[in-house]
Structure 1
Amino acid sequence: MHFFKNLSIQSRLLLYVIGPIFVLSCLILLFDFKEQLQNEEEKLSQHAMTTAKFLSAVIHNQTELQGQDYIKRLLKASQLSREPYLSLIITDADHHPLANLGTSFSVKEALPKQDTMVMQQSTHDITMVKVFSTATQHQLLGYVFVAIDKASMIEDHREAFIKNVGYITLALMLCSILVSWVSRSISQPLRDMTAALKRFVIGSQHVTDGKNTLPEILSLQSTINQISKDMQHVEADMRHRIQDAQAQLRYQARHDALTGLVNRQELERRLQQALQDVKQHQANHVFCYMDLDQFRVINDTCGHLAGDEMLRQISMILSQRIRAEDTFARLGGDEFGLLLSYCQVEKAIEIAAQLRQMVETFRFMHEGRLFQTGISIGIVEITSALKDVGEITRHADAACYVAKDNGRNQIHLFHPEDDVLLKRHVEMEWVLRINEAIEHNDFVLFCQGIFPLQHKELPPFYEILIRKRDEHGGLIAPAEFLPSAERYHLMTKIDRWVIQHAFMALQPLFKMQSSVSPFIVSINLSGMSLGDAQLLPYIQKCFETYDILPSHVCFEVTETSAIINIDNTIKLIKELQKMGTRFMLDDFGSGMSSFSYLKHLPVNFLKMDGAYVKDITSNKVDLAMAKAIQSVAESMEIKTIAEYVEDEATLDCLKEMGVAFAQGFYLNRPMPLNEALARHIGTIGNQQQLAAAIAPDLTI
């Protein structure tokens, strides 16, 4: 099949037309040759039979065969010596030849089994007829043999057949020439069009010139020419579209989709050019890092769409002050970057002050509500001492955070010796260390007991605390790394790590005992986690994975974070309380609107702010605040917890006020969680003694 697929039109016509005709013609000739030869043989055989019967009839009237002379005269008189007779023989009854004419042969080859018979040989036929006497009834007198020559007849027909085959071959050769000419008149234009199409592919404007006369080929050429013209228009249009798309992609790769400003990647490229310009030509360039103040409030209050619209409006306002040679970029979120080209530091500070004033006077209106914001700007002069773009952005970022730490809506110029910046760099280093600690499980879970003061049926608490191992195996307090985690949005990762590993520590406790003694583990959740929509599914999955009873778990949130994410917090509390978990509101009293928000938060426990508890025995105001919190909690049937219990006097005061639980160094110090759980399972005598000292009628 592969051979036929590769044949040209001319070859296919010759093969499919001439070939079958030639074969068919030869078959017809061969059939005709055989039929004619058979007819001739039948005629000769019939003629020989007639001759033999004639001779036998002449001899038949004799009473006996006469002598040889008579028979020879008879054969000569019959004039049978001409073709196609090979020989004529007359024998007596014993097959003894009496007379013959022509070539002799053995008469014994023709067995006289019948009165008449024909024996066919390859080159001749022998016809035999018996001769009987009429005088005596059927007396056998002898035999008449007639041999007919077939070789000459076959040769004549063979020559005629070969001659006819030659005529047919000649005719087919003429037909082949005609077919080749016709096929070439079709295939050659096609080859010309193929070559023209190849030229068109590489840039030719025309495919064929239409010199052919065949209507079909002319129509095909005309169609291809029209297609080529259309393709030229399509190609031109496609080229323009590709150029537009490439330009659009280049623009999108370099600009922010929301504001249309230059993006971070393009800004960093231009900062690299500016740094090289400074090192090679001592040019003056300044970079400003800008961060909107309290932008998250607008996002949380009005939604991301409102926040995006505010960013677009501020970008348009600030762009009006940017010089043509400068680069104003959005770095992400509410952060912007400004590269002031060929600008002195003094002029840069002046421009930054104008930008700060423009943002300060800007008012954003959304659904009838008016919002005002500020902007903190960190400035760094690009000098040859800076190594790379990363160092430029780090210095500017650090200067911006100093501006925020100085009260927000401020401008700060980077100074290498600035102590605040050093602290900022330390915090940035903590980001890497925190991520590594999460990845390598370098955190350690501690806990501190929270003990009941009033009623023995109340279960004890274990508040989960976190520490970090240092490179020497020591422990680092959370105050060292949690501020950095909050600033760099790592608290969600830490909270999830704490939840997972706390549940892993609790799991053996439930597997070892069929009935677990009452206790509650309290796990802190940050404000960032409260805003995480995936926190609830994660907690539910942990309960299912580690098979922990929800009634033994309490989640603790600070008042400030709960208020900021109040809707998410309420939803989270209600969903987890359906499972059986409990919630505690920590640092209550630190906010200005604590009591107004408390009635909206369905918490089970209320932990007083330690600032009121630690001086409760010496400060009347703190005592009054603590009593007010206790009174409101009792009216709402919420149990209270007092932290920072440092002495017996404070403990007694809290018991007298009716506080339900107490926590502090006077009662116990933090210990590893596994150790605390082991004590709860096994030897808990120390806890019983402590509980007896706090509440004599309580048994843990």
Structure 2
Amino acid sequence: MKSSIRRRVLLLALLPATLLALSLGYFFTLSRITDLDQALRARGLAIARHLAPACEYGVISGNNQILQRLADSALAEPDVVSVYIMDRGGNVLASNSLKQSKLAGIQPGDIPVSSQNDTVTVATRSNVLFFRMPIRQTEVQVDDFALTSTPAPAIQPVNAAPLGYVAIELSRKATMERQNEVLRSAALLTIAALIATALLALRLGREITVPIMKLASAVDKIGRGYLDVRVKLGGNDDEFRILEDGINGMVSKLHRAHDNLQEQILQATAKLSYQASHDMLTGLINRREFEVRLERALFSAQHQDREHALCYMDLDQFKIVNDSCGHVAGDELLRQLTLHLQQEVRERDTLARLGGDEFGLLLENCPQDKALELAEIMRKTVEDFRFSMGEKNFMVGVSIGIVMINHESDNVVSLLTSADAACYAAKDHGRNRVHLYQMQDSELAKRRGEMQWVNRIQLAIAENRLQLYFQQIQPLQKQEQGLHVELLLRMIDESGQCILPMAFIPAAERYHLMPMLDRWVMENSFKLCDAYIAPDSCELQTWAVNVSGASLCDAGFVQYLKSHLVDNPALARTLCIEITETAAITNLGAANTFIKELKSLGCRFALDDFGSGLSSLNYLKNLNVDYLKIDGAFIKDMADDAIDLAMVEAINKIGHQMGLLTIAEFVDSERVLLKLKEIGVDFVQGNWIHKPENAEALCKT
């Protein structure tokens, strides 16, 4: 960078001066050389013009002595090296030469000439100039009667052939030497001027570049973070003094700004550190920091034989507050409740918000009895808490799961999982209670089993280990053409065994995996139908699939079905979607919307497990279904149980009154089949009718 600035300054200073010096030297030298040539030419012309008239008499009279004297006198002139006087035929009448002339024996037309005033001929050869002047006869006009006081007679050249010629040869040697001296002098002057200019440019460059380089060095250091730099340019130039003051002032401000920024960074770092470990809503530590402290407690239990307790707390009825008054009210409830809970926590214990309406409490150095006592205090504190928003008052409860931390504890994940399972067990037992985790607890064993099923379900989908089976639905009262089947879901486990859905569906429902399973069933049902069940060729009248309550509320699932069925009207006409009675009643609005959307495409609907709910008949008239599937709990013993028989009769009669067809499932004997036929049930389904087969066998049916 420094050399670049110097080069630019020197280039800007030297280039104009050099061009100017060279131009002046060139024009001066050229002018001097031209002047010397012109002076030599003018002298030669003057000698020729003076000598030619003087030779007229000698040529006319033939007096060669006069001519020789004239030639000798002309030779005395500077730079004249030879003189020849010739007659008109080119014969030399007189000559004089300092050397052997190139004009010896010259003929009048031998010299290439250039004319000047048609009298003098000039030619240049090598280092000499040649001049040829014609000798002309002059005529004197005399007036015989003129008075003596009249002017002298006029002498005019006669317009006739020349009497002869005068030839003069001038040497250019002296002139060329003077020209060379001029060239040398000009070169020396030019070089001297360039040297002076260069010295001046170097001086100028130093005066400019040294401060600039100081500035550049200071800026470079500032850019690398050295804010203690100060610039001292020196000199008395106002411009550099302004730059010096400006740079130093800027560095001082940067230094102060840097200090302020460092302080702000420290404050922001502390704030971020706090935010990273605390919940912004309640001010409690968050899940991440809670797990760190839980890890320390676990280490002390495993290596120092200490005992601690972990409480997992989930608020009951908190959703009511959010739904009634909005999330702002829910947030305010959590803030106020946190203040009450903190008053009951011991100084050495840790209360944390784990997310949503879930809290964690780590009781350090706390035996089991004390942990249960403190957990009950926390439960009672929440139970007694009242929250008001406007004119509405709310009360909430809390379900608490406790797990002890001792040398037998495994890791943080298993502790949180166990505490969460104990919390859900408390909810299952009626909410607003405390449940202690025990290894042999049947409820917890069930919960752990369901959590294990979550991973198994996800792996089965990823590894393509789900399969579709089908079971025929047989018409009972009249013979119908074509097949009626229900598609059933099965899982193939890691060892290749077939697993019935009731083993994993409860876990899928609890942990919100049913939408994923429903989507898989529908996608593969469509593929199966497209590949194997061409309705026109197989005469398939009905293929039924089950849809969970969670999918009824999923608008994306409805749109997926519609997008496929719109382009496949034959499939839509043969599709029957089964919805359980419980799911339909729980999501009545969503169920009606779902049914309406798909019925417009030609789909049919069946209300599955009808009769299991307490208010089935009240809701049945609000559901636009085509079939009632009587709950199998009434079917399997109806041949021997009069109450079950009466229930089936009543459901069948109500269905027919409403224009619905009835289907009895779980038919496992001929006696049950005969009873159902006697009652008038329309369709039957069960293992006695047809055992489920792999759906690929449908194409062979």
Q: RMSD in angstroms over aligned alpha carbons?
A: 3.4
Q: Write the distance in 1 (CA, Å) between the matches of 2:239 and 2:403.
A: 78
Contact kept? 2:51, 2:74, Cα under 8 Å: no
Deviation at 1:153, TM superposition (A): 1.7
Contact kept? 1:450, 1:462, Cα under 8 Å: yes
Instruction: Give yes or no for the alignment of 1:590 onto 2:590.
Output: no
Contact kept? 1:403, 1:410, Cα under 8 Å: yes
Deviation at 1:175, TM superposition (A): 3.7
Deviation at 1:637, TM superposition (A): 3.1
Deviation at 1:180, TM superposition (A): 3.1
Deviation at 1:67, TM superposition (A): 5.1
The equivalent residue for 1:105 is 101
The equivalent residue for 1:339 is 362
1:564 to 586, 594, 601: 586
Q: Write the distance in 2 (CA, Å) between the matches of 1:633 and 1:314.
A: 51
Q: Write the distance in 1 (CA, Å) between the matches of 2:57 and 2:444.
A: 157
Deviation at 1:366, TM superposition (A): 7.2
Instruction: Give yes or no for the alignment of 1:70 onto 2:92.
Output: no
Contact kept? 1:608, 1:641, Cα under 8 Å: yes
The equivalent residue for 1:289 is 312
Q: For residues 298 and 589 of structure 1, do their structure 2 counterparts lie closer, same or farther at Cα, with a shift above 3 Å needed?
A: farther
Contact kept? 2:460, 2:491, Cα under 8 Å: yes
Q: List aligned pairs for 1:525-564, cutoff 5 A.
A: 525-543=547-565, 549-564=571-586
Q: Which amino acid aligns with 2:82?
A: S
Q: Write the distance in 2 (CA, Å) between the matches of 1:672 and 1:437.
A: 17
Q: Write the distance in 2 (CA, Å) between the matches of 1:604 and 1:257.
A: 53
Instruction: Give yes or no for the alignment of 1:82 onto 2:82.
Output: no
The equivalent residue for 1:123 is 127
- Structure 1 portions without partners, runs of 5+: 680-700
Q: Write the distance in 1 (CA, Å) between the matches of 2:92 and 2:367.
A: 151
Q: Write the distance in 1 (CA, Å) between the matches of 2:448 and 2:543.
A: 36
Deviation at 1:256, TM superposition (A): 4.1
- Structure 2 portions without partners, runs of 5+: 114-118, 140-157
Q: For residues 45 and 167 of structure 1, do their structure 2 counterparts lie closer, same or farther at Cα, with a shift above 3 Å needed?
A: closer
Q: Which amino acid aligns with 1:84?
A: D
The equivalent residue for 1:50 is 46
Q: Write the distance in 1 (CA, Å) between the matches of 2:463 and 2:656.
A: 45
- Where 1:251 maps in the other structure, the secondary structure is helix
Q: List aligned pairs for 1:633-648, cutoff 5 A.
A: 633-648=655-670
Q: List aligned pairs for 1:595-674, cutoff 5 A.
A: 595-674=617-696
The equivalent residue for 1:34 is 30
Deviation at 1:516, TM superposition (A): 5.3
Q: How many residues align?
A: 673
Contact kept? 1:10, 1:179, Cα under 8 Å: no
Q: Write the distance in 2 (CA, Å) between the matches of 1:373 and 1:529.
A: 30
Contact kept? 2:345, 2:351, Cα under 8 Å: yes
Offset from partner CA, 1:326-367 (integer Å, 9 cap, x none): 232333444332222232322221111112223334456679
Q: Write the distance in 2 (CA, Å) between the matches of 1:211 and 1:527.
A: 86
Contact kept? 2:467, 2:492, Cα under 8 Å: yes
Q: Write the distance in 1 (CA, Å) between the matches of 2:392 and 2:627.
A: 35
Deviation at 1:105, TM superposition (A): 0.9
Q: For residues 672 and 106 of structure 1, do their structure 2 counterparts lie closer, same or farther at Cα, with a shift above 3 Å needed?
A: closer
Offset from partner CA, 1:166-214 (integer Å, 9 cap, x none): 3343344334333333333332222223333344453434633574422
Q: List aligned pairs for 1:148-187, cutoff 5 A.
A: 148-187=170-209
- Where 1:579 maps in the other structure, the secondary structure is coil
Deviation at 1:29, TM superposition (A): 2.3
Deviation at 1:389, TM superposition (A): 1.7
- Where 1:464 maps in the other structure, the secondary structure is strand
Contact kept? 1:613, 1:644, Cα under 8 Å: yes
Q: Which amino acid aligns with 2:219?
A: L
Deviation at 1:133, TM superposition (A): 5.4
Deviation at 1:125, TM superposition (A): 0.6
- Where 1:61 maps in the other structure, the secondary structure is helix
Deviation at 1:100, TM superposition (A): 0.8
Deviation at 1:284, TM superposition (A): 3.1
Q: Write the distance in 2 (CA, Å) between the matches of 1:441 and 1:272.
A: 38
- Where 2:255 maps in the other structure, the secondary structure is helix
The equivalent residue for 2:116 is none
Instruction: Give yes or no for the alignment of 1:231 onto 2:254.
Output: yes
Contact kept? 1:558, 1:588, Cα under 8 Å: yes
Of residues 148-157 and 208-217 in structure 1, the stretch that sits farther from structure 2 once superposed is 208-217
Q: Write the distance in 1 (CA, Å) between the matches of 2:664 and 2:36.
A: 138
Of residues 375-384 and 595-604 in structure 1, the stretch that sits farther from structure 2 once superposed is 595-604
Q: For residues 567 and 658 of structure 1, do their structure 2 counterparts lie closer, same or farther at Cα, with a shift above 3 Å needed?
A: same
Deviation at 1:233, TM superposition (A): 4.0
Q: Write the distance in 1 (CA, Å) between the matches of 2:337 and 2:548.
A: 31
Deviation at 1:469, TM superposition (A): 2.0
1:573 to 595, 599, 603: 595
Q: For residues 85 and 550 of structure 1, do their structure 2 counterparts lie closer, same or farther at Cα, with a shift above 3 Å needed?
A: same
Offset from partner CA, 1:613-664 (integer Å, 9 cap, x none): 3344554544454444345434443333232334445445444554333323
Offset from partner CA, 1:505-527 (integer Å, 9 cap, x none): 1112455x646525221111222
The equivalent residue for 1:524 is 546
Q: Which amino acid aligns with 1:529?
A: S
Contact kept? 1:186, 1:217, Cα under 8 Å: no
Deviation at 1:556, TM superposition (A): 1.4
Contact kept? 2:128, 2:170, Cα under 8 Å: yes
Q: Which amino acid aligns with 2:624?
A: P
Q: Write the distance in 2 (CA, Å) between the matches of 1:646 and 1:489.
A: 33
- Where 1:468 maps in the other structure, the secondary structure is strand
Instruction: Give yes or no for the alignment of 1:377 onto 2:400.
Output: yes
Offset from partner CA, 1:374-401 (integer Å, 9 cap, x none): 4332222222232322232233233334
Q: Which amino acid aligns with 2:129?
A: D
Q: For residues 292 and 276 of structure 1, do their structure 2 counterparts lie closer, same or farther at Cα, with a shift above 3 Å needed?
A: same
- Where 1:549 maps in the other structure, the secondary structure is helix
Of residues 455-464 and 33-42 in structure 1, the stretch that sits farther from structure 2 once superposed is 455-464
Q: For residues 518 and 369 of structure 1, do their structure 2 counterparts lie closer, same or farther at Cα, with a shift above 3 Å needed?
A: farther
Contact kept? 1:275, 1:383, Cα under 8 Å: yes
The equivalent residue for 1:696 is none
The equivalent residue for 1:502 is 525
Deviation at 1:36, TM superposition (A): 3.3
- Where 1:130 maps in the other structure, the secondary structure is strand
Instruction: Give yes or no for the alignment of 1:221 onto 2:244.
Output: yes
Of residues 542-551 and 374-383 in structure 1, the stretch that sits farther from structure 2 once superposed is 542-551
Contact kept? 2:484, 2:541, Cα under 8 Å: yes
Q: Which amino acid aligns with 1:581?
A: C
Contact kept? 1:510, 1:548, Cα under 8 Å: no
Q: For residues 291 and 654 of structure 1, do their structure 2 counterparts lie closer, same or farther at Cα, with a shift above 3 Å needed?
A: same
Q: For residues 273 and 592 of structure 1, do their structure 2 counterparts lie closer, same or farther at Cα, with a shift above 3 Å needed?
A: same
Q: Write the distance in 1 (CA, Å) between the matches of 2:57 and 2:490.
A: 151
Of residues 633-642 and 570-579 in structure 1, the stretch that sits farther from structure 2 once superposed is 633-642
Contact kept? 2:533, 2:540, Cα under 8 Å: no
Contact kept? 2:58, 2:67, Cα under 8 Å: no
Contact kept? 1:507, 1:546, Cα under 8 Å: no
Q: Write the distance in 2 (CA, Å) between the matches of 1:316 and 1:521.
A: 58
The equivalent residue for 1:249 is 272
1:449 to 434, 448, 472: 472
Q: Write the distance in 1 (CA, Å) between the matches of 2:660 and 2:323.
A: 29
Q: For residues 562 and 111 of structure 1, do their structure 2 counterparts lie closer, same or farther at Cα, with a shift above 3 Å needed?
A: farther
Q: Write the distance in 2 (CA, Å) between the matches of 1:310 and 1:523.
A: 44
Q: For residues 313 and 518 of structure 1, do their structure 2 counterparts lie closer, same or farther at Cα, with a shift above 3 Å needed?
A: farther
Q: Write the distance in 1 (CA, Å) between the matches of 2:433 and 2:284.
A: 23
Q: Write the distance in 1 (CA, Å) between the matches of 2:59 and 2:499.
A: 157
Q: List aligned pairs for 1:267-416, cutoff 5 A.
A: 267-293=290-316, 314-362=337-385, 373-416=396-439
Q: Write the distance in 2 (CA, Å) between the matches of 1:580 and 1:257.
A: 52
Contact kept? 1:299, 1:307, Cα under 8 Å: yes
